[in-house]
Structure 1
Amino acid sequence: MLRAFISMGSNVDREHHFRGAARALQEAFGAVMFSPVYETGAVGFDGDPFFNAVAAFDTAEPAEIIVEALKRIEDEHGRVRGVARFSDRTLDLDLLLLGDQVVEGPGYALPRDEIVHNAFVLRPLADLAPDLVHPQLGTTMRCLWEVFDLDGQWLKAIEFCWDDALA
């Protein structure tokens, strides 16, 4: 079994899509842990603020199967494909890490590069797994966050009850 870490983002009907994603992840992968939720500014385009978080679960599934399941969950939540890379999203789910694997496959690379570039990925990941070591950098998520340069990015923790989403 390996631990998978998934970034979650939404800036369209955010609470609805986060709750639905939480249920769908649990149905697909069993017990899921969630980070705190952050409201963050859109990066790369002018758009409404996002909700962002990180989910984690243990799995024996290979990365390809996890990525397929994430795309299916996004599609079930009205994700529109073929639009600009940086645009509004009903739901965005990305595989960040799968154990300590360093691999590339169709439509994914592990570890995902956004971990070290986007506060909306690194902060919730550091909250959920502060002692997790980045498989390429050899540094914990806590240490990566402590030296992270926000460089115009903003985020603020919000109240979000995952238990309500899974009830």
Structure 2
Amino acid sequence: MAQIFISLGSNINKAEHIRRALVALNKHFKNTQHSSVFESEAVGFAGNNFYNSVLAATTEMALEDVCALLKQIERDNGRKANDKKFSPRTLDLDLLFYDDVICESPAQLPRDEITKNAFVLQPLAEVAPDFYHPVAKKTIAQIWNAYNNPQQKLWKVEFSNP
């Protein structure tokens, strides 16, 4: 059984797409725990604010199958394969960790943005403070406590899980 962490993000019809993603993810994964939902400004482009959160779960699915499922859930929620990297999103699901696997394919693991973006790191620190980052060689709580980027502001939003 693998421990996985998935970041969820949306800036188009945000609450609806995050809820729909959670329903889909809860069907496929076990022992799920959802962080608070945070709102933040778009990073890397001018656009509507995002909702972001992290889902912790366990799975017996292979890494490749998890990645394929996340892409399918994105497509089911209106995401197009040819969407530009820095552009508005109906839904963005990124696998952050699959146990302590380090790889570049089928996904970059651990995901590089974990240590760079507050909108990933803060919700991850809520659900996995003691999880050990195999590249940074620190716990998520240690990384979050040392994080310092005043440009990235987050605030919790009221959100009712499905």
Shorter-chain TM-score range: over 0.9
Q: What amino acid sits opposite 2:35 in the alignment?
A: S
Q: Secondary structure at the match of 2:12?
A: coil
The list of structure 1 runs, each at least 4 consecutive aligned residues, that deviate by more than 3 angstroms after superposition, is: none
CA distance in 1, matches of 2:112, 2:43: 15
CA distance in 1, matches of 2:101, 2:60: 13
User: What is the aligned partner in structure 1 of residue 151 from structure 2?
Assistant: 152
What TM-score comes out, normalization by structure 1 length?
A: 0.93
> What percent of counterpart residues are identical?
44
Cα drift, residue 9 of structure 1: 0.0
**Secondary structure at 1:95's aligned position in 2?**
strand
Give the distance between the partners of 1:78 and 1:91, measured in 2 at CA. 8
1:10 aligns with 2:10: yes
Unmatched runs of 5 consecutive residues or more in structure 1 = none
1:37 aligns with 2:37: yes
Q: Which runs of 5+ in 2 are unaligned?
A: none
The reply on whether 1:115 has 2:114 as its aligned counterpart is yes
Alignment of 1:124-139 (within 5 A): 124-139=123-138
Secondary structure, counterpart of 2:56 in structure 1: strand
Report how far residue 30 of structure 1 moved.
Answer: 3.5
- Whole-Å separation in 2 of the counterparts to 1:92 and 1:59: 20
Partner SS, residue 121 of structure 2? helix
Quote the Cα distance in structure 2 between the aligned partners of 1:13 and 1:110. Answer: 28
Alpha-carbon displacement from aligned partner over 1:58-78 (angstroms, at most 9, x marks no partner): 112121100100000000000
Give the corresponding residue for 1:54.
54
Distance in 2 (CA, whole Å) between partners of 1:22 and 1:89 is 16
**Residue 160 of structure 1, CA deviation:** 1.1
Q: Normalising by structure 2, report the TM-score.
A: 0.96
Question: Which is further off, 143-152 or 44-53?
Answer: 143-152
Partners of 1:35 and 1:137 in 2: CA distance: 22
- Give runs of aligned pairs for residues 36-115 of structure 1, distance below 5 A: 36-106=36-106, 108-115=107-114
Question: In the comparison of the two structures, how many residue pairs are matched?
Answer: 162
Distance, in Å, in 1 between the alignment partners of 2:34 and 2:77 is 19
- What secondary structure, in the 3-state scheme, does the structure 1 residue paired with 2:138 have? coil
